[in-house]
Chains A and B, each alone.
Chain A
Amino acid sequence: MTNLSSAPRTQTPRMRPRFGWFSDRWIAVSFLTPTMLLLLFMTVFPLIWSLYLSFTEWSVARNTREAPVWVGTQNYVDLLTNERTWERFVVTGQFVVPAVVIELVLGFAVAMLLNRKFAGRGALMTGLLIPMMLSPVVVALFWRFMMQGDGVLNYYIEAVLGVPPVQWLTGRSVALWSLVLVDVWMWTPFMMLISLAGLSAVPKYLYEAAAVYRASAWFRFRHITLPMVTPLLLIAIIFRMMDAYKLFDQAFVLFGLGGGPGRSAQTAALYIYQVAFDQFNTGEGSALGYIMLVVIIALANIFIRVLNQAKTGQ
């Protein structure tokens, strides 16, 4: 019987890899650390610091050498009992709801029209997506230019429609709708894009089955298209609603910090900016920021709940 243990062994020389110390763990740590540090200093720290400041009375401009004075929930109580705070949220809502609804309806309608093959579809799509790709400030600047009293919009309104010019930026009842118009122009393509993704994901055989079963166009839309696309539309609404609620740049460029005539277009974001960086009430501004965050989280949660219900059909 051969004794295996006594069989001569060939010694393989141990190769020491040049980058042996460069383990998977080391790579993971080295890649993640800069991002984590950035996130910590740029997001997590300000978030926690501003939460602390919201319970203090302090101004970043006035009393930088003094420590913030702890006032407990006083800032929140003051803000929530102040009629002006509620007015700003109502104004924001008055902007968000029509803007998002119009964007949804228009975007979905355009997506329905584009959801077929035809010559030049790609070029048309690219053209329609341009507003979404522009900087909000640039968009607001050229709309401000067009909406001026003697701007191109009023020129056409007078020349073509023969009606008196509209005070787009100075009319108390019109200002907010001007903001809605700009937002709709810019963000309808986003709704269109999401709707188109949803429409093209509906399997063709569902429509074929409906055609065999004599379903009318409206019946197909009502019972196939709409329910199949709804979950994606709800996601688009959540995105747009959260974004619109935070709207600052377009409103700032069109109306300035004051929010137009009689503050009629002063959104919550403009108001926060005014309190925090114009009046330099840093503590109160931080509290206002957190109130807005809670409102957005609450609204997003309601939509997510509706979305889940739409998905599970309960």
Chain B
Amino acid sequence: MAEVRFLNVVKRFSTKSGDVLAVDQVNLEVADGEFLVLLGPSGCGKTTTLRMVAGLETATSGDIFIGSRRVNDLAPGERDIAFVFQFYALYPHLSVRDNIAFPLRAQRISREEVDKRVQDVAQRLKIEHILKRRPNRLPSGEQQRVALGRAMVRQPQVFLMDEPLTNLDASLRADMRVELKHLQHELGTTMLYVTHDQTEAMSMSHRIAVMNLGVLQQVGTPLEIYNHPQTLFVALFIGSPPMNMMTCTLSEGRHLQAKVGNLRLTLSSTHRLLSQEREQNVAFGVRSEDVHIQSADRASDVMGTVLVREPLGDETIYQVDVGGESALLVKALPREVFQPGERVGLTIDPERIHLFEAATGKSLLAAAEKAG
């Protein structure tokens, strides 16, 4: 087991239409035994970053370390890693047993040792009954386990996984999430996992590294990322439904106030640090669960009209028109029922709002906390 470190890692691809910057100055440390998820939309550079660790892509500049070894110039086979591919990369002409044994046979390990290790892995993954079968005749859940088995059998220092659950159906994906998390906990191996699915990232990882356009946006625990997004991108990318985002003007009276459409919100003491931003346009964000919906006759921060009601069983999502540029999404308990067209009152917890610099997308609150 080992830690993985990225120091100013850059990757450019040369294309006919010029160079494309896929990964831009990534600095990241993955601790020994940590489960870190690289999260971001398609084309954000997360898979390229992972492939650079594996040696399947070469970094244009910067250094990558696995443990104390700089691995930039090492061949993939010399890095002591295991890679689980999105499409599993199982050999269709080999049985499940031979697929799992492949890495060991490639290293000419004795037959007895190969048999023993394959049996161990199969037992752990509960795939002993399919060892004689061909992988392409198996359901995708079992193919996934075989791919995992092949990765585990070598007992590598680092596991690299490239969206391994993408091809599974929703219920199987949920099961595999739990199993993978358990497996990583049991093995204690460092794991770098790429996904675009925030549920996977939030539920499985110790820490998440969010990427966009090749740039590392934020690294933190799932709750840090969710509760304290440092950029506008992270705020909008994490959370379902996405964070409500509107332009707002900050003004100073007796208290610092945010004006969003018809909404006037007095900011809490923390936000008073933002003196330099007063009277400027900023992006105002609030998560749907931090807006409370109630009947129109109760004291509220702002009044609105219900546009759409989406009952999801355990909660209901309302789209409420408050006269601003876009409607607010509000999460409510299923027992609170408001009909489309109904006037409602909304209150917003001022401690739970997010403010971002409009030009750079950087969190003003994070900047204020740093300054404080």
Contacts and interface: CB of A to CB of B under 8 A. Distances in A.
A154 to B, nearest CB: 47
Given A212-B54, A212-B83, A214-B78, A206 B89 contact: yes
Interface stretch (B8-16, B100-108, B250-258, B314-322): B100-108
A198 to B, nearest CB: 13
A211 interface: yes
B93 A213 contact: no
Contacts of B93: 227-228, 313
A203 B85 CA distance: 12
A216 B106 contact: yes
B81 A212 contact: yes
Nearest to A314: B134
B56 A214 contact: no
Given A205-B87, A219-B106, 6 more contacts: A203-B87, A206-B89, A212-B77, A214-B77, A223-B91, A313-B95
A209 B75 CA distance: 12
B114 interface: no
B97 interface: no
Contact of A208 (B89, B91, B154): B89
Interface of A: 203, 205-206, 208-216, 219, 223-224, 227-228, 313
A212 B76 contact: yes
B323 to A, nearest CB: 47
Given A212-B81, A212-B82, A203 B106 contact: no
B81 to A, nearest CB: 7
A210 B56 contact: no
Contacts of A223: 91, 94, 102, 105
A224 B90 CA distance: 11
Given A223-B91, A224-B91, A313-B134, A208 B56 contact: yes
A288 B83 CA distance: 60
Given A224-B91, A228-B93, A209 B77 contact: no
B77 A211 contact: yes
**Nearest 9 A/B pairs, CB to CB:** A214-B77, A213-B103, A215-B106, A209-B89, A227-B93, A205-B89, A211-B76, A212-B76, A212-B83
Interface size class of B (residues with CB under 8 A): 20 to 34
A206 B91 contact: yes
Interface in B66-125: 75-79, 81-83, 85, 87, 89, 91-95, 102-103, 105-107
A219 B102 CA distance: 10
24 contacts: A205-B85, A206-B89, A206-B91, A208-B85, A209-B83, A209-B102, A211-B56, A211-B75, A211-B77, A212-B56, A212-B77, A212-B79, A213-B150, A214-B107, A215-B102, A215-B106, A216-B106, A223-B91, A223-B94, A223-B102, A223-B105, A227-B93, A313-B95, A313-B134
User: Among the interface residues B82, B102, B106, B134, which one has the most CB atoms of the partner chain A within 10 A?
Assistant: B106
Contact of B77 (A203, A215, A224, A228): A215
Nearest to A216: B106
A280 B91 CA distance: 57
Contacts of A205: 85, 87, 89
A224 B92 CA distance: 9
Nearest to A310: B93
A232 to B, nearest CB: 13
Contact of A209 (B78, B85, B95, B107): B85
Contacts of B56: 208, 211-212
Contacts of B150: 209, 213
Nearest to B106: A215
Nearest to A213: B103
A209 B105 CA distance: 14
Contacts of B95: 313
Contacts of A219: 105-106
A212 B159 CA distance: 11
A214 B85 CA distance: 16
Given A223-B91, A224-B91, A313-B134, A210 B85 contact: no
A201 to B, nearest CB: 12
A64 to B, nearest CB: 58
Contacts of A228: 92-93
A224 B98 CA distance: 12
A19 B83 CA distance: 64
A205 B94 CA distance: 16
A214 B77 CA distance: 4
A203 B93 CA distance: 13
Interface string B42-71: 000000000000111000000000000000
User: Among the interface residues B91, B93, B107, which one has the most CB atoms of the partner chain A within 10 A?
Assistant: B93
B103 A214 contact: yes
A212 B95 CA distance: 20
B240 to A, nearest CB: 31
A314 to B, nearest CB: 10
